[in-house]
Structure 1
Amino acid sequence: MEISREILSVGDLNRAIASSLEERFDIVWVSGEISNFKAYDSGHWYFSLKDEEGQIRSVMFRGRNSQVGFLPQSGDLVEVSASLGMYVPRGDIQLTIQTLRRAGMGGLYEAFLKLKAKLAKAGLFDAERKQEIPTHPRSIGIITSPQAAALKDVLSTLARRAPHIPIVIYPTLVQGTDAPRGIIAALHAAEKEQAVDVILLVRGGGSIEDLWAFNDEQLAYAIAQSPIPVVSGVGHETDTTIADFVADLRAPTPTGAAELAAPRKDQLLQELAAIEQALLQRVTQRVEREAQTLDQLALRLSHALPNPERMREQIRHWQQRLNQAWIVRVDSWKRTQSHQQQQLEMLNPQRTLERGYAVVLNTKEGIHAVRKPKELCLNIDFEIRLAEGVASVQFATITPEK
């Protein structure tokens, strides 16, 4: 007697295999090398993961790969979390990837978490330890690489918000094994010179490896022990380093650090105007109170003294002198406020340019002002800033004069 058996279609068999794989395997972590990477217009990524013993097809859909932070290339070593299944139309077993990171990032992140917990236990993140950021710094220090794009953004922001505040740059590496030692040396240099009231520690965004210098334990202690308040502006808003937790104030970006450290010029003028108004109001109130007191005394004297007319004349005399004294005091405060406004305006670099001066800037290695004749070179573009514009020039001949 022939035993009856169910005959499956290829599609049914593949679906049964896919269902079995999904039930058997939960989310798995797999490491391997990317091969045959393709990014389609739909936003989905298709590639294979391989090692010396085999390979497996993989797909990462647009909703997931938008969170990766970099575009993988064939040959990259990566670690992925994925569900295992089958692409039924072709009968191919494949990984549907949920997360993807460069190989080794898991170890770095674990090291980051361990150091963070250690320093938190030591009290380096405590709010009571952090210093107040001065609201009106006399000078601002910047610790970063002279070649960093972040430096240009910070200088531009400071020039727009507070052109009257001097800036001191402490150049150092901000990436690589030597970077922590260089940043610590820059902090010590700023501490020794005592030339700035606040320090901006800035760097542009990057991967966890690029920003790893800011996860150094010795650097964390150097920031915590700095007598000068430190504002960190490392990476993008989503990037977080140990330096951010230790710093006295953390900004989401380098530009944000500059905005937090420098008051706006127009805001300063508004504050001065508000102070002037408050002083005038207080003086007026005081004069009115004193006038009322004088009226009360005059009334009492008119009943107590034998010559009230003479005493009233004296009262009027003293009242006049008091009013004149207050008027002189108010005028003095007004002149002082006006003088301070003029000084603030005189510090504006634009005023110097409008008097006929110009600034020669060397733009080859960062932007810095030329101060000595020997810094001028032939066949190199220099930028000359004038009162009404900027010009790029090259010197044909240079003849230093004593």
Structure 2
Amino acid sequence: MSNFDELKPRAWTVSALCRAVADSLDAQFNPVAVRGEISGFSRAASGHCYFSIKDDTGQIRCAMFRRAASLMGFSPRDGELVEVRGRLGVYEARGDLQLVVESMERAGQGALFEQFLRLKAKLEAEGLFDPIHKRALPEQPRAIGVVTSLGAAAWHDVMTALQRRVPHIPVLMAPALVQGAGAAATLVQALQNMYALTAEDNPLAPPVDVILLVRGGGSMEDLWSFNDENLARVIAQSPVPVVCGVGHETDFTIADFVADVRAPTPTAAAEMAAADRGVALQALSDQENRLNRGLLRQQDRHAQRLDSVATRLGVGLARQQDRQSQRLAAVAARLSRPQAVLGQHAQWLDRLASRLQSGVQSQLTGGVHRLERLHDRLGFNRGQQLAQRAQGLERAALRLSSVDPHRVLDRGYAWLSDENGHALTKAAQFQPGQSVQATLADGEVPLLVKG
């Protein structure tokens, strides 16, 4: 045998080499924990999950079988930073390095969750979550305040819902950061700025009657600024009810527990804060119908009373006439006596006839006057009531009209927005060559920024 044959490496079968590599990996690394970003996550019909864990320079294929996947307390998403534990091996069918994941949690969630529970217990012990402090939301707020990021989807969702349900109610916005370092401090400042607009004498009348604190969904780290202790105490000091709509329905923050009302989403927060305009209009219509029915019932009662009085007067006059007729008959009987008696009573008969005629006429005249007074009083009362109801309806209509946003546009103001419909409120938002949409009282005008 030559020296070359001695140096020739052993020839492995593919499957044997894969098993040998897998055994080596198992002996040197397993069990293993890896932190990285999820990429290409998918869940098969069988319930098994397949994805990759990556960082800036590398990635590892992962498989998580149905039993382990069913124990996860959240739904993984691409781009989410997680920590997985499992066993490193080789998938022999492809010869790929593969990590079989046995458990997964959001990176750092354990420590954050412990902080969350400690703060929650502390504030709960102080009574900040006590239901006795929760206030009911106003049925028809004069103005609605919103605290969120100006560029966030939550702001667009809230405005869409409010424009659909209550376009006549003014909406005031206090911008703040909703994620990252310093976000909690900007949320505190934005809330305090909004509190100043709740006063009856604030310069941006009408005053804000309810505040929406909103943000879209995200990981626990993304929502962490809403678990700030200082923010919780500022929410508890709000002079008006606060609706907290942070994250998705399954997300909970300290702000949710302190707020007067917790909404599952920003859109739900907007819907809770203001009843649909159609509901208010229907209630107003129902009130008008009830008033009309009440007036008709009152008119019918007065008409019945008038008929009853007229009937009593008629009966009284008939009885009076009967009595006078009886007296006349008695007089006639006496007149049938001899001529001497006739002469003796002739003058008395004339006086009696005159008094009878005068009395009947007086009774008739008095009855007619009483009927006329009753009729006039009925008409006056009905007119007064109708006028009062009409004034009430007119005041309600004026209140609705006074908060119509189009009246602001009628005074020469305009609403500026970019191509995506986002509001433009600062000069820094404009760029040369930018297309801008101006909404006026009678329509929209496209504009171009020149400089």
d(CA) in 2 for partners of 1:150, 1:247: 18
d(CA) in 2 for partners of 1:223, 1:376: 34
Mean Cα displacement is larger for which, 357-366 or 325-334?
A: 357-366
Partner of 1:323: 379
Partner of 1:209: 221
Root-mean-square deviation over aligned CA pairs: 4.6
Partner of 1:24: none
Aligned residues of 2:306 and 2:374 also touching (Cα < 8 A): no
**Structure 1 residue matching 2:145: 3-state secondary structure:** strand
d(CA) in 2 for partners of 1:221, 1:352: 36
Out of 275, 280, 285, which is 1:273 matched to?
285
Partner of 1:253: 265
Mean Cα displacement is larger for which, 375-384 or 344-353?
A: 344-353
d(CA) in 2 for partners of 1:217, 1:120: 12
Equivalences for 1:168-187 in 2 at 5 Å?
Answer: 168-187=172-191
Partner of 2:145: 141
The percent of aligned pairs where both chains have the same amino acid is 38
Over 3 Å counting, the alpha-carbon distance change for 1:99 and 1:302 in structure 2 is: farther
d(CA) in 1 for partners of 2:167, 2:300: 42
**Structure 2 residue matching 1:384: 3-state secondary structure:** strand
Mean Cα displacement is larger for which, 31-40 or 204-213?
A: 31-40
Q: Which runs of 5+ in 2 are unaligned?
A: 1-14, 20-30, 200-206, 321-361
CA-CA distance at 1:308 after TM superposition: 6.2
**Structure 2 residue matching 1:142: 3-state secondary structure:** strand
CA deviation map 1:339-366 (0-9, x unaligned): 643663575445777x797834143995
Partner of 1:68: 75
CA deviation map 1:205-235 (0-9, x unaligned): 1110111111112211211121111111111
CA deviation map 1:147-202 (0-9, x unaligned): 21211221222222222211211111122232222222222222233231111111
Aligned residues of 2:223 and 2:247 also touching (Cα < 8 A): yes
Aligned residues of 2:137 and 2:273 also touching (Cα < 8 A): yes
Over 3 Å counting, the alpha-carbon distance change for 1:221 and 1:304 in structure 2 is: farther
**Structure 1 residue matching 2:214: 3-state secondary structure:** strand
Out of 414, 436, 448, which is 1:359 matched to?
414
d(CA) in 2 for partners of 1:212, 1:288: 67
Partner of 2:433: 379
CA-CA distance at 1:296 after TM superposition: 5.9
Out of 126, 134, 159, which is 1:130 matched to?
134
* Structure-1-length-normalised TM-score: 0.73
Partner of 2:116: 112
**Structure 2 residue matching 1:210: 3-state secondary structure:** coil
Q: Which runs of 5+ in 1 are unaligned?
A: 1-9, 15-28, 51-55, 398-402
d(CA) in 1 for partners of 2:295, 2:395: 20
CA-CA distance at 1:86 after TM superposition: 11
**Structure 2 residue matching 1:141: 3-state secondary structure:** strand
Out of 228, 232, 240, which is 2:240 matched to?
228
Residue correspondences, number:
366
Aligned residue identity for 2:277? K
Aligned residues of 1:68 and 1:100 also touching (Cα < 8 A): no
Over 3 Å counting, the alpha-carbon distance change for 1:359 and 1:46 in structure 2 is: closer
Partner of 2:390: 334
d(CA) in 2 for partners of 1:223, 1:320: 61
Aligned residues of 2:217 and 2:246 also touching (Cα < 8 A): yes
d(CA) in 1 for partners of 2:41, 2:215: 30
d(CA) in 1 for partners of 2:148, 2:192: 14
CA-CA distance at 1:378 after TM superposition: 3.9
CA-CA distance at 1:107 after TM superposition: 1.5
**Structure 2 residue matching 1:263: 3-state secondary structure:** coil
* Structure-2-length-normalised TM-score: 0.66
CA deviation map 1:308-344 (0-9, x unaligned): 6424641442234223431343144235425643663
**Structure 1 residue matching 2:269: 3-state secondary structure:** helix
